[in-house]
Amino acid sequence: MDTSALQIFQAATACSLLAVLLYMSGRATQERRRPPGPPGLPIVGNALDIPTDRQWLKFDDWRREYGDIIRITVLGQPQIILSSLKVAKDLLDSRGSIYSDRPPAVMAGELVGWNRGLGYPATQMQFRRAFHRFMGPKACEQAELREMLERENISLLRKLLEDPAEFSDHVRRRVACTSSTILAITYGYPSDAGDPLNLVKIAEDAMHGFALASEPGRWWVDSFPILKLIPPSFPYASFRREAQRMREVLDELYNVPFDYVKAQIYSRSFQPSFISSYLLENTHDAKGQRSLIPTDEVEQIAKAAGASLYSGGAETTPSALNSFFLAMTLYPDVQAKAQAEIDAAISSDVLPRISDRRDLPYVSALVKELWRWNPSVPLGLPHVASEDDMYMGHFIEKGSVVWANIWSIMHEETLFPDPSAFKPERFLSETPRSAEACEAIESSFGFGRRICPGMFLAQDSVFLAVATILRIFAISTMTDPTTNEEIIPEVHYDGFISILDIIASHIEITGSTDYNPEHDGVRWIEANSQSKSMDLMPQ
């Protein structure tokens, strides 16, 4: 080798070594800039530090020690926890192009099957368009949808009127009180049918499976995807058998109600619903004419969208109502103020309607406080960083799972003073803090491109239920028959979704109104909200 060639080789080698050293130095600097967090153990990281339920409270404890952006690892997987409104908005809203993806959830997604819907589908844009058209802000202002909500709400009120002594059982069943509304909206399934398809139980079991399968740090297969190849029959593969059981329930949720809608369409008479509307708009023959036979792709999208809509609402809306019953039990002064406002603003011979919201500012503030006080999904759904990012001097590596701790955000003392107290008044004052608090409440439904598409529908549904229940009922604690002392409700939480199981609560019919099941207001609503069946035969 001549001298010049040797010099070139030496220079190239030196440059390569320098590049490697600079890269390693840069990575080392980036690693030193990672967000702070609790120290973990080798291999497992912080997996043993995360409780099996109410993880958001543990994350909130870490926030107080390490700050608003925390990094932990679970079996080698970096996890970023965002615990303030500013940090969450800066990353998930302003940098949505980086943080809009969902992580590849092996247990919940691949094994159980939720990757077909509920935030994980490849057809996410089609989902969003369909949801927006049927339940976006403009859609929720349409008289037909509001009348559907009001008609189904009457069914809920009558159930409570017929058997108020069993109120605590209604609450413990969780979805029994509100799922009929979501069934009607999603599938046109009438509430007076008695649920012959057992959809309420199917949805409850499916969502319990989702909550269990989605718990952070619970399943080793999420960190070691190769474990999914283990056969369910393997002696130590209990997670595979559990996933198989959950998937069977989810398949029922996909197929049973969808087949019901198809049968109704073929009979040429049905109740308008999200699924029927989607099928009608997207089912055409080769000549572009409307057809009754959807393609496989349209069927799969409709099944996944319907299951996502129904299952999400069937758990999160009851969560808000359970929080309402608990809050009214613990804060009777709030209940009294809300009832006084309703009595003053609404004629005594009618029930409150969605259109009355502007006349009921305190009740509207009460509903906002429900979303804040006990958010239905305290950790939201996970995001993932699609590329390396720097934020406030912190390095967030590509592939990090990112959680917005909505519980912490909704309990920020700078936004919500005395956050553990239930205070609707915090949304009523004419101050910048109140305006900021009102804006922050939307964050309880998520962030950025992944915000809950059913947000407006949920807000209408919960407002209507709260206003009408307050008009008819008084909610109070039970009294111990032996000691004659007030029993403070006992509360249990269920899984990833904040479902309250309230023990020792009681509901009674108030004597302050002449309301009864044959009330003129009820009859008027029912007479004016009957959905018309539609002829679906192609023209």
Q: Using alpha carbons, select from 341, 335, 369 the residue that is nearest to residue 356.
A: 341
Report yes or no on 67 lying in a domain: no
Sign of the dihedral through C-alpha 134, 140, 145, 151: positive
CATH number of the domain at 346, please: 1.10.630.10
Residue 228 has pLDDT above 60, yes or no: yes
Residue list for the binding site: 452
Per-residue pLDDT of 360-380, as tens digits, reads 999 999 999 999 998 888 888
Alpha-carbon distance of 80 to 388, in angstroms, equals 13
What is d(CA 172, CA 503) in angstroms, rounded to the nearest whole number?
8
Distance CA 307, CA 202 (A): 11
- Lookup: tokens for 59: 């994350």
List the one residue out of 42, 43, 62, 67 whose CA is nearest residue 51.
62
Q: How far is CA 194 from the centre of its chain?
A: 26
Q: Which helix (H) or strand (E) holds 317?
A: helix 296-330
Is 168 a residue whose pLDDT tops 60?
Answer: no
Residue 500: inside a domain, yes or no?
yes
What is the spatial distance between Cα 70 and Cα 64, in angstroms, rounded to a whole number? Answer: 10
Residue 373: per-residue pLDDT: 93
| 168 assigned to some structural domain | yes
How many domains does one find in the chain?
1
pLDDT for res 207: 79
- The answer to the question of residue 428 being in a domain is yes
**Separation of alpha carbons 245 and 233, rounded Å:** 13
Residue 56 in domain: no
3-state SS of 319-354 is HHHHHHHHHHHHCHHHHHHHHHHHHHHCCCCCCCCH
Q: Is residue 439 part of a domain?
A: yes
- Does the residue 20 lie in any domain? no
Quote the pLDDT of residue 195: 65
pLDDT in tens, 308-340: 777 666 666 777 888 898 899 889 999 999 999
Tokens 């962030």 -> residue: 447
Q: Residues 427-458: pLDDT tens digits? A: 987 766 777 888 888 888 888 766 777 778 88
Task: Give the range of the structural domain holding residue 219, as residue numbers without chain letter.
Answer: 100-381+412-527
Average pLDDT over residues 50-61: 88
What confidence score (pLDDT) does residue 234 get?
87
> Does 5 reside within a domain?
no
User: Contact at 8 Å (CB) between 62 and 38?
Assistant: yes
pLDDT confidence of residue 480: 73
Annotated binding site for heme: 452
